[in-house]
Amino acid sequence: MENATPRRVEHQQTDRGYVPVYATGVVEQPWDSYTVTDHEVWNTLYRRQRELLPGRACAEFLEGVERFGMGENGIPKFADLNDLLAKTTGWQIVAVEGLLPDEVFFDHLANRRFPVSWWIRKPDQLDYLSEPDLFHDLFGHVPLLLNPVFADYMQAYGRGGMKAFGVGPEALMNLTRLYWYTVEFGLINTPDGLRIYGAGIVSSKGESIYSLDSAAPNRIGFGLERVMSTRYRIDTYQQTYFVIEGFEQLFDATRPDFTPIYQRLAAKAPHAAGDVLDADRVFNVGTREGWATNADT
Ligand SMILES: [Fe+2]
């Protein structure tokens, strides 16, 4: 099979814009169909991030990359990564065609399965892609699944998602913001300074630099309700990054029943992506340089 393409089933207008919707089933990773170019794209992206991330990504992430033996030897085989996951945290990667509907995604996480898009971006998309591909899903998300506390947080998030699905769209939005500001764009405070753990950052060269080095964005201490009530950007770097003190803090935050929190938040207007509040623990108030002022999600 040459130049295999993911099976899109339809397009859908959603609150996140016009997004493709894929067949939702789990597939075999079609490893033999990857072209030389596909493997080169992996190697290039891997090399760039591996050079950039020491001193920027958190130790747990870098350790995960090493333990999986990711490298410049082409796209990893999911089956190999799954051997190690099975022996450690019990997670499994499953290959999918692309973004999944919320309830399907939550069900995977709740059962310790992480969906990974099997296809990789094209060489002219190294720096930006509007939807998650294999490099984002695999390099960005999977290394931290070897960390026992983070692995439990991801499962708790999936279970929370199943529940929120029954509560309603506003609850789901609150929960989506939690994922966005932690799993995708989270920073962590360490004795050596702020480090990256969010998959959306570690898989992006530009944001790996911007999130830590730029004076423009806010960096604010994590709070569950603060994050759940803060809108976000999908089209630019983040205006605010939330900083956790450790993965235990994340897992502990998901312990309580969210239902009363959803009710409380429903009565209040959400904060803009770039707001700084009096109650915030502020690491850095952004200069707001280069910020777009409209269209937070
Ligand atoms: Fe992601």
- Domain edges within the chain: 8-284
Instruction: Write down the mean pLDDT value for the chain.
Output: 92
Q: How far does the centroid of ligand 1 lie from the alpha carbon of residue 56, in Å? A: 19
Q: Separation of 137 CA from ligand 1 center, angstroms?
A: 6
How far is ligand 1, taken at its centre, from the CA of residue 205, in Å?
15
- Residue 275 pLDDT > 90: yes
CA of 159 to the centre of ligand 1 (A): 18
- What is the CATH code for 8-284? 1.10.800.10
- State residue 21's pLDDT score: 63
Residue 274: predicted pLDDT: 94
Does residue 10 surpass a pLDDT of 60? no
Which has the closest alpha carbon to 286: 216, 213, 238, 239? Answer: 216
> Which of the two residues, 187 and 235, has the higher pLDDT score?
187
- Report pLDDT for 77: 98
Indicate if the pLDDT at residue 281 is higher than 70.
yes
The tens digit of pLDDT for each residue in 86-108 reads 999 999 999 999 889 889 999 99
Report the pLDDT averaged over residues 281-294. 89
- How far does the chain reach from its first CA to its final CA, in angstroms? 39
| 12 has a pLDDT exceeding 60 | no
Tell me which residues are annotated as active site: 136, 141, 184, 203
- In this predicted structure, what is the pLDDT of residue 166? 87
Spatial CA neighbour of 25 closest among 104, 92, 135, 93: 104
**164 CA distance to ligand 1 middle (Å):** 19
User: Which pLDDT does position 296 carry in this prediction?
Assistant: 65
Structure tokens of 190?
């360490």
Judge whether residue 295 has pLDDT over 80: no
Q: What is the mean pLDDT of residues 36-57?
A: 98
Tokens 């920073």: give the residue: 187
* Cβ count within 10 A of residue 139: 22
Alpha helices in the chain (DSSP H): 36-52, 59-68, 78-87, 102-110, 134, 148-167, 169-179, 199-202, 205-213, 224-228, 247-253, 259-266
For residue 2, the model assigns a pLDDT of 40
143-195 pLDDT per residue, tens: 999 999 999 999 999 999 999 988 999 999 999 999 999 999 999 999 999 99
CA of 278 to the centre of ligand 1 (A): 31
Task: State percent of the chain over pLDDT 70.
Answer: 91
* Pairwise CA distance, residues 181 & 70, whole Å: 26
Give the pLDDT band (50/70/90) at residue 221: very high
141 C-alpha to ligand 1 centroid (Å):
7
Q: pLDDT tens, 66-75?
A: 999 999 999 9
pLDDT value at position 25? Answer: 86
271 pLDDT more than 60: yes
What dihedral angle (degrees, nearest 10) is formed by the CA atoms of 103, 108, 110, 113?
-160
